[in-house]
Chains A and B, each alone.
Chain A
Amino acid sequence: MSAAAAILALVRTWLWIGAGVAALFLTIGIGRIDANARNAFVFRTLLVPGILLIWPLVLWRWWCIERGSPWIARYRPPSAHGAAAVAMAILVLAALGLSLGARQDWPAGFEPRRLADAAP
């Protein structure tokens, strides 16, 4: 299996598992962990694309809340977010600066030269 085929197979598997998690969570789980979602159904389809991508996080949150972890902890971002944001900003600027620095100039002054006449 080529690298490209392996990546495609991995992505396909990930999305199929996500579809299964979305089906379970949106029919059973969301009403169990969020009282405001009970008897509200239309909005649930909007969550499908996100769950397809981050289904491990959904499963983990669902498990935490079912176990009775404090609900407010869901909203506390990991402490590395600030440092990551600063690092990404520096990386973007560095990439921009390096790419501008590595840029070639059009060799406008080069005059074509005939090195040899055509072979007879």
Chain B
Amino acid sequence: MSERPFFVGYVGLPRGSRGFAAALAVVLVLGAGLLATMVARSVDDPGPGAFRFDLGPQKVTGIVELTPAPVLHVTEGTSTIAPGHTLMLSGQGKNGALPRARALEGRLATASGILLTRGTLDMLQIGGGEAGLGPATGASAPALPAPEPLGRWALAGEICDGKCASGAMLPGLGIAHKACANLCILNGLPPVFVSTRPVAGASFLLIAGTAEAPMPPELYDWVGEYVTLEGLVRRHGDLLVLTVDPATLERAP
């Protein structure tokens, strides 16, 4: 039988182990505190984005446009959503609204759901069925607002999915959110570029996709990283839409 002291919780601490236990306790408390401080200081502020359940369900009417991410040019709003505003639309969870919006392209539609907001970025998560998104009755659709070209721009910032960035997730931005953002965009949620500084008055730009994909496939590897890029900017209603030139994408210094 060994004579080395051996700690068993219910019989008390052996005299020979007391110094070691005290030193270990101090090291663990200080080490855990130091580690927690380092990790906490390295985390960015997740921002003020949130589901706005406090505003209640929002029901708006507008014209559907596809970029191919669906947006709604609001013609009849609510006390929160003014007519003339351009709303991005999403489905529940990680589902985009494109399959439901495709049949309504260019038509007047009624959308109902919960608003997400983060500063000037907002999005409507529509409910299920035609009550969530369906054709408006009794009115003919006004013409879609003509896109206004704003030229070619050099920008810096981050590509992310618009739903998480506007408050569905905290954090909804950054490298820790990369996989989630890619899954969201692959499922048709609107991809968004967050610019370092406002571009023609807006810090958030909807990224235009292709006929086949919600976002050009070359962009997926850059999601969640800080990048510089060039692209064409157009104004659709009060929303800026960015067509990225993938050849110009670079990691920000």
A residues contacting B by CB (< 8 A) are: 96, 100, 103-119
Contacts and interface: CB of A to CB of B under 8 A. Distances in A.
Given A100-B42, A103-B42, A104-B175, A110 B228 contact: yes
Interface in B157-202: 157, 175, 195-199
Interface in B21-51: 35, 38-39, 42, 44
A113 B196 contact: no
Nearest to A111: B197
Contacts of A117: 151
Contacts of A96: 35, 38-39
Interface of B: 35, 38-39, 42, 44, 148-157, 175, 195-199, 225-226, 228, 230, 251-253
B157 to A, nearest CB: 8
B contacts with A: majority SS: strand
Given A107-B156, A107-B196, A110-B197, A115 B226 contact: no
Contacts of B38: 96, 100
A115 B195 contact: no
A116 B225 CA distance: 26
Contacts of A116: 151-152
A40 B150 CA distance: 79
13 contacts: A96-B35, A96-B39, A103-B175, A104-B175, A104-B251, A107-B156, A107-B253, A110-B196, A112-B154, A112-B156, A112-B197, A114-B151, A114-B153
B227 to A, nearest CB: 9
Contact of A118 (B39, B42, B149, B225): B149
Given A100-B42, A107-B226, A107-B252, A115 B154 contact: yes
